[in-house]
């Protein structure tokens, strides 16, 4: 199949490279000449494990190409995927669909023959209807179908998620479009990936509902963690105890500083706005959003308390800046709120992240960046683990103790067991682990 991906950001690039690896002929289009130039030179605009090699292999096999010229790429395609950004709109939190609708107008002008237009971007219910209306208005004679095919990719594991998905959700109207979509995903047949074919609006809502549910699980266990600290319980054991129940499941039950990233914050907000506009407010998700925002700010207070109640003039070392490991994504990362809170309290912050430093620089003022974890900790009066990169899972505490001004570790991801840290003379603070 001939596939065109409009948008070469995270979703578009990963999806395009994986489709090419399936054997399809894929063209990734982007308006940013600098991004396309970098991709043609083999430089990835994002960090995603294995993506550079996957792109290089498929470019070499002439299955994957990059261009700024949309028209010929659309004209030759059997399916055109819209994979542009849908950030939260300023003021009301609704998804900003400017780029989606702009892409639809440009695609409409270039259509030749029957083409399936697929919204891969995360979009609110009814967006596919508007995309169809835009294309029909711009090109009344065009033969096309509009399909919703939301992505369910985890940053840091996106390639594996794409090739071994839990499910493929396809929202459409009409057999002709279904035939094309099933052919595109046919290479996953041997993996027995479930394909759920639904109405278009159902598919659009499924994506938001999934992310809101996962965000709710995270927020739930974070509130249970706060309770554990007060009553002398261990949230990790509570998580295991409830996660072994197949009705609940163990994933997304790890207490920490709150969720961030490109999906959960904006998608929960967009779902809240959609529900309000429909006259059916989702109070549970509204609370999840509020609790998560408060939690990220509260983590700075947790660090301050671990430092004796004041950090003014103190050097605080922060390990991990990205919202999760194995990505360079800083969007809505808890580290942003935590570092800002520490600075507001008068702390001097030095930070290290294996991949996120360059992305963090424009977002954080007056932060010193270190070359590694040990350089970060040198002279610090507290060391704070914010993101659970593998590089932080086996720190040499004897070495840290010799170089730090005070032996204080605040582990916001519960990477370590209290006893193994405390035997090195460190005061240890974690999340949701009381005395019992």
pLDDT in tens, 184-211: 999 998 778 899 999 999 999 999 999 9
Rounded-to-integer distance, Cα 28 and Cα 32, Å: 12
Percent of the chain predicted with pLDDT > 90: 95
Is residue 368 pLDDT above 60, yes or no?
yes
Amino acid 270: pLDDT: 94
Question: Which candidate, 86, 91, 92, 90, places its Cα nearest to that of 276?
Answer: 92
pLDDT digits (tens, 9 = 90+) for 137-171: 999 999 999 999 999 999 999 999 999 999 999 99
Q: Which domains does the chain possess?
A: 2-198 (3.40.50.720), 208-287 (1.10.1040.10), 294-429 (3.40.50.720)
Collapsing DSSP states into helix, strand and coil, what is residue 433? strand
User: Is 263 one of the annotated active-site residues of the chain?
Assistant: yes
CA 241 to chain centre: 27
Give Cα separations from 251 to 213, 222, 255 (angstroms): 12, 14, 11
Amino acid 435: pLDDT: 61
pTM of the model: 0.93
Rounded-to-integer distance, Cα 269 and Cα 81, Å: 24
Burial bucket for residue 61 (CB in 10 Å: 0-12, 13-18, 19+)? exposed
Instruction: Give backbone dihedrals phi and psi of 358, rounded to 5 degrees, phi first.
Output: -65, -35
Helix (H) or strand (E) holding 385: strand 382-385
Q: Which of 228, 263, 307, 376 is catalytic?
A: 263
Q: Are residues 353 and 384 in contact, defined by beta-carbon separation less than 8 angstroms?
A: no
**Range from 82-91, 115-124, 210-219 carrying the lowest mean pLDDT:** 82-91
Rounded-to-integer distance, Cα 100 and Cα 16, Å: 17
Is residue 116 pLDDT above 80, yes or no?
yes
Amino acid 436: pLDDT: 45
């Amino acid at each position: 199949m001939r596939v065109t991906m409009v948008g070469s950001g995270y979703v578009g690039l990963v999806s395009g490279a994986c489709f090419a690896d399936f054997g399809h002929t894929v063209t990734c289009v982007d308006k940013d000449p600098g991004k396309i130039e970098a991709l043609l030179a083999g430089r990835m605009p994002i960090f995603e494990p294995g993506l550079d090699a996957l792109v290089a292999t498929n470019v070499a096999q002439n299955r994957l190409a990059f261009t700024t010229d949309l028209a010929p790429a659309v004209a030759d395609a059997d399916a055109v995927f819209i994979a542009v950004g849908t950030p939260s709109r300023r003021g009301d939190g609704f998804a900003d669909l400017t780029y989606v609708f702009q892409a639809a107008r440009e695609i409409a002008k270039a259509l030749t023959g029957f083409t399936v237009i697929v919204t891969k971007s995360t979009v609110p219910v009814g967006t596919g209807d508007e995309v169809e209306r835009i294309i029909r208005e711009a090109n009344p004679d065009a033969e096309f179908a509009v399909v919703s095919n939301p992505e369910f990719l985890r940053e840091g594991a996106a390639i594996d998620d794409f090739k071994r998905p839990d499910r493929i959700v396809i929202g459409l109207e009409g057999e002709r479009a279904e035939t094309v979509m099933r052919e595109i995903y046919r290479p996953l047949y041997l993996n027995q990936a479930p394909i759920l074919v639904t109405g278009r609006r159902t598919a659009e809502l499924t994506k938001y509902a999934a992310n809101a549910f996962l965000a709710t699980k995270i927020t739930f266990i974070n509130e249970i963690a706060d309770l554990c600290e007060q009553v002398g319980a261990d949230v990790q054991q509570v998580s295991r105890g409830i996660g072994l129940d197949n009705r609940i499941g163990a994933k997304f039950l790890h207490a920490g500083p709150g969720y961030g990233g490109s999906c959960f914050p904006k998608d929960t907000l967009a779902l809240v706005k959609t529900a309000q506009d429909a006259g059916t407010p989702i109070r549970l998700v509204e609370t999840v959003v509020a609790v998560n925002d408060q939690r990220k700010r509260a983590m700075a207070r947790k660090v301050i308390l671990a430092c004796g109640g004041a950090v003014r003039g103190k050097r605080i070392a922060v390990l991990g800046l990205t919202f999760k490991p194995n990505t360079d994504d800083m969007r809505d990362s808890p580290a942003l709120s935590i570092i800002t809170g520490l600075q507001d309290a008068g702390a001097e912050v030095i930070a290290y992240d294996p991949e996120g430093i360059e992305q963090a620089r424009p977002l954080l003022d007056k932060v010193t960046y270190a070359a590694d974890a040990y350089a970060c900790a040198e002279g610090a009066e507290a060391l704070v683990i914010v993101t659970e990169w593998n590089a932080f899972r086996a720190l040499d505490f004897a070495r840290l103790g010799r170089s730090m001004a005070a032996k204080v570790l605040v582990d916001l991801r519960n990477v370590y067991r209290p006893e193994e840290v405390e035997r090195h003379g460190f005061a240890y603070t974690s999340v949701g682990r009381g005395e019992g």
